């Protein structure tokens, strides 16, 4: 666990960046969209819009190809953000490379205490597979984090969606053992928020009194409520959260200007 961030009587400002899908080559693109350029543009937008940041969360699919050069490019790109960054793997990532680099660079933690909140960082990736699963080790991490949080409120971060999102093609690619996950949360009154990436779209729901948030990708967007794979023309973006000391959550999604980064409209998968 890292050293606590901020004072427990103050709000915590968090920026979530997710699904940047960088490649070893800075010139590569995903479905016709330059993912490196779009990430840089989103970081510039954060710098313009959020004057004080306490921490940055990168919630998986940092890279598309799992190459170490792509991870180092991500680290260099987010370095101008004036806050520590923590990351978790997604299905396109190489979790072992992320763990090694994350240990060296201070990006990998089991959980982080910030203000009056504990932020739990889970690895839901399955090597070589698209859906997610939380191993017994990860579920035990979650339980330890909840049990030792004392009076802090708890936010849980993972890559894969733990609830259906209304996309026929995407719903089977979420967290396969979601009920194991929810069984740990339902008995924990201090858990207030679950945050994820993976779905390349904005979502804001509630389950059992817990806020559920997902965030647009910094590159390609997926169409909501689609039966088959479909991209969307909405712009890349990020999420800002303010976690208040009384457990209240303020959040908004911000996007780049419309039309600046668009994927190939004929894309049928990636």
CA distance between the termini of the chain: 35
pLDDT of 114 > 80? The answer is yes
How does pLDDT run across 194-209, given as a tens digit for each residue? 999 999 999 999 999 9
Closest CA to 145 of 170, 119, 179, 123: 119
The answer to whether 239 and 231 are in contact (CB under 8 A) is: no
The pLDDT of residue 265 is 79
**From the centroid of its chain, how far is CA 133?**
16
Confidence of residue 164 (pLDDT cuts 50, 70, 90): very high
Q: Where are the alpha helices (DSSP H) in the chain?
A: 35-49, 68-78, 95-105, 136-147, 178-185
Confidence of residue 267 (pLDDT cuts 50, 70, 90): confident
DSSP one-letter code for 235: P
Q: Would you kindly state where each structural domain of the chain is located, as residue ranges?
A: 12-255
The pLDDT of residue 3 is 72
Using N-to-C axis directions, what is the helix angle for 136-147 and 178-185, rounded to 10°? Answer: 10
The pLDDT of residue 57 is 98
pLDDT of 85 > 80? The answer is yes
Rounded to whole angstroms, how far apart are CA atoms 38 and 96? 26
The pLDDT of residue 191 is 97
Q: Average pLDDT for residues 259-265, to the nearest whole number?
A: 89
> What is the Rg, in whole angstroms, of the alpha carbon atoms belonging to the chain?
17
Q: Average pLDDT for residues 77-104, to the nearest whole number?
A: 97
100, 153, 196, 198 from 19: Cα distances, Å = 20, 26, 10, 7
Tell me which CATH code domain 12-255 carries. 3.60.21.10
pLDDT of 70 > 80? The answer is yes
117, 208, 236, 251, 269 from 261: Cα distances, Å = 35, 37, 7, 24, 18
The pLDDT of residue 222 is 96
pLDDT of 269 > 80? The answer is no
Closest CA to 135 of 143, 145, 123: 123
pLDDT of 1 > 70? The answer is no
- Lookup result for tokens 């817990």: 210
How does pLDDT run across 219-237, given as a tens digit for each residue? 999 999 999 999 999 999 9
Q: Which residues contact 54 (CB under 8 A, 6 or more apart)?
A: 5, 6, 12, 13, 14, 83, 114, 115
**Taking all residues of the chain, what is their mean pLDDT, rounded to a whole number?**
96
Q: Average pLDDT for residues 10-32, to the nearest whole number?
A: 96
- Lookup result for tokens 């208040």: 244
Half-sphere exposure of 240 (CA within 13 A, CB side): 18
């Amino acid at each position: 666990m890292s050293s606590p961030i901020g004072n427990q009587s103050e709000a915590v400002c968090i920026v979530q960046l997710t699904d940047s899908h960088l490649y070893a080559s800075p010139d590569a693109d995903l479905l016709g969209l330059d993912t490196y350029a779009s990430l840089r543009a989103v970081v510039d937008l954060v710098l313009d819009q959020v004057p004080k940041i306490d921490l940055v969360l990168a919630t998986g699919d940092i890279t598309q190809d799992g190459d170490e050069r792509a991870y180092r490019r991500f680290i260099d790109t987010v370095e101008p953000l004036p806050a520590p960054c923590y990351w978790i793997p997604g299905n396109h990532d190489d979790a072992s490379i992320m763990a090694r680099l994350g240990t060296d660079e201070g990006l990998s933690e089991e959980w982080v205490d910030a203000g009056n909140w504990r932020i739990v960082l889970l690895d839901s990736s399955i090597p070589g597979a698209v859906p997610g699963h939380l191993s017994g080790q990860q579920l035990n991490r979650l339980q330890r984090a909840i049990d030792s949080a004392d009076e802090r409120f708890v936010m849980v971060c993972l890559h894969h969606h733990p609830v259906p999102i209304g996309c026929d093609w995407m719903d089977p690619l979420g967290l396969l053992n979601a009920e194991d996950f929810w069984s740990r949360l339902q008995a924990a009154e201090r858990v207030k928020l679950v945050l994820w990436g993976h779905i390349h779209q904005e979502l804001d729901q509630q389950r059992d009194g817990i806020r559920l948030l997902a965030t647009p990708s910094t590159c390609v967007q997926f169409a909501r409520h689609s039966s088959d794979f479909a991209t969307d023309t909405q712009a890349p973006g990020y999420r800002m959260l303010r976690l208040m000391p009384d457990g209240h959550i303020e959040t908004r999604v911000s996007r780049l200007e419309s039309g600046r980064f668009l994927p190939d409209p004929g894309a049928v998968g990636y």
